[in-house]
Amino acid sequence: MPPLHDPRSPLLAAATAPQVWDLLVIGGGASGLGTAVEAASRGYRTLLLEAHDYAKGTSSRSTKLVHGGVRYLAQGNVGLVREALRERGLLKKNAPHLVHDLGFLIASYTWWSRPFYGIGLKVYDALAGRLNLQPSRLVGRRDALGNIPTLKEDGLRGGVLYFDGQFDDSRLAITLLRTLEDHGGVALNYAPVVGLLKEGGRVAGARFRDGETGQEHEVRARSVVNATGVFVDNVRRMDDPGARAMLSPSQGVHVVVDRRFLPGDSALMVPRTDDGRVLFAVPWHDHVVIGTTDTPVPEAGLEPRALPEEIEFILNTAARYLDPAPTRADVRSVYVGLRPLVRNEKTDGAGSTAALSRDHLIRISDSGLITLTGGKWTTYRRMGEDTVDRAARLAELPGRLSLTQGLPLHGWSPPEETAGRPEHLRVYGSDAEKIGALPGAGRLLHPDLPYTEAELRWAVRRESARTVEDLLARRTRALLLNARASLEAAPRAAALLAEELGRDGAWQEAQVRAYREVAQGYLLA
């Protein structure tokens, strides 16, 4: 039976109840959710407002890696790598149902590359210290082919195998949402902030619009954090219309192909592409994600699109290492994420974005608006800790120690309990059994997708899904795994969503139309 009431109603009521929040966080991506969990777990009254859906932007479009950043080590940024490796180890402990070890092979076709990369990766191991996953090692030609049977054999000498973490980015976002709620925090999606409230020249809250009714509400807070990713400058200009841009956004493109192109147990890492980046081919949800690119873009958008030359670059680079290699006809989905790279003020953003910082940055305006930007998923927890430390001091909140280094995230389950489950169910951790008890647990949404109808019902009832796109792009990963199959599944997803929320047939049809418009951008023409 569907819920007796719309699950959004109590969230809206809690968000708009007359009170002063300790922290108001604007933005429901990695940095915003991490900050909100940090604040709520310390006992601060915390409200998070998201303009669209949780992880709608960059935070659902990563390379699916929890990693230290091998290329930052090559750039000499040892501090960033050490911090990320530590956070990688903590996240694996705090969310073992979401993070697992994955071997990465650097294939060697020259005499010098094995010792060269082998030494560098021993440094990588050492920087991780006791939180290292597994030690890297040199492998011969036979073992390299054992890990990746589709490697090109001509000239192959062996390689270096090292280990990093893998995860599902939007599922971690939803897990953080549930963790925030577990600790008494309140979050509301489809609630865009349209203005900031000020008292005596200081930011004292925000005005937001309910994206479903159009009604506007005011909320007051002792401290306001702008954690809107590539859109932070938009909120900064609500505070100060003359604020200079902080970011130089860059887009990274990924293509998704069938698992047969990478059938072994390891991922492939190409340490230096023609544009000076690294490229990964990573097994994920029984498919392969290949990427990424680094293309400066003039402005941030909600649905960035891949350029033809970016697709060609990825496929051509993969073809140097894989046999058979995927072609355009083999691409199941294309997705694009925007990096919130902090602008180099000396050059005003000119030059390659590959050289701009992935360190996070916290900036406090004269009116007290705290802006958090930069960083990456791996360091989301540390970003949140640093931000809440600053917010608590600024707002003169009671001093409380951070608990998140050892905080189990919602659904925490030991690996032995989740190991036998399919990957799409493992991400729910201890909630998986509850999903199995819902109607539709035995019915696939689509024959080419692993998801059941019960998972969609769960997403509506417990995970704040409001649209077909929420269901197919982020609560499940159907759009990223197989965009065409997700389009075929959209009408059934809309029917389930309408049943759960009590909507009519016209609403269903509008949902399908809206989803088709978005999903077309994930298909290669």
The full set of domains in the chain, from first to last, is: 8-58+171-246+346-406 (3.50.50.60), 81-166+248-339 (3.30.9.10), 415-522 (1.10.8.870)
Q: What is the pLDDT of residue 358?
A: 56
Return the pLDDT at 345. 58
Mean predicted confidence (pLDDT) in 175-183: 98
- Residue 185 per-residue DSSP state: -
> Per-residue pLDDT for 53 more than 90?
yes
pLDDT score of 77: 84
More reliable by pLDDT, 355 or 290: 290
Residue 263 has pLDDT above 70, yes or no: yes
Say which DSSP state 213 is in: T
DSSP 148: -
Q: Does the pLDDT of residue 2 top 60, yes or no?
A: no
pLDDT greater than 50 at residue 360: yes
Q: What is the mean pLDDT of residues 494-499?
A: 98
Kindly report the average pLDDT of the chain as a whole number: 94
Which tens digit of pLDDT belongs to each residue from 387-445?
Answer: 999 999 999 999 999 999 999 999 999 888 888 888 899 999 999 999 999 999 999 99
What is the pLDDT averaged over residues 138-167?
A: 97
Average pLDDT over residues 442-450: 97
Answer whether residue 525 shows pLDDT above 50: yes
Check residue 341 and give its pLDDT. Answer: 86
pLDDT of residue 343: 79
**Overall pTM surpassing 0.85 (yes/no):** yes
Query: Hey, CA dihedral for 158, 160, 161, 165, is it positive or negative?
Result: negative
Q: Which tens digits make up the pLDDT trace of 63-116?
A: 999 998 887 887 778 888 999 999 999 999 999 999 999 999 999 999 999 999
> What's the average model confidence in pLDDT over 303-324?
96
Residue 253 φ/ψ, nearest 5 degrees: -105, 145
* Residue 357 in this model has a pLDDT that exceeds 50: no
Percent of the chain with pLDDT over 70: 96
In 78-201 the beta strands, taken as DSSP E runs, fall at 100-108, 137-140, 158-166, 186-188, 193-199
Asked whether the beta carbons of 357 and 341 are under 8 A apart, the reply is yes
Report residue 347's pLDDT band, with 50, 70 and 90 as the boundaries.
very low
The string of DSSP letters for 227-285 reads --GGGHHHHHHHH-TTPPP-B--EEEEEEEEEGGGS-SSEEEEES--TTS--EEEEEET
| CA angle centred on 467, ends 32 and 254, rounded to 5° | 65
Asked if residue 504 has pLDDT above 50, the reply is yes
| Residue 142 neighbours by CB under 8 Å, 6+ apart | none
In the structure encoding, which two tokens stand for residue 9, read together? 């109603």
Look at residue 155 and tell me whether its pLDDT is greater than 60. Answer: yes
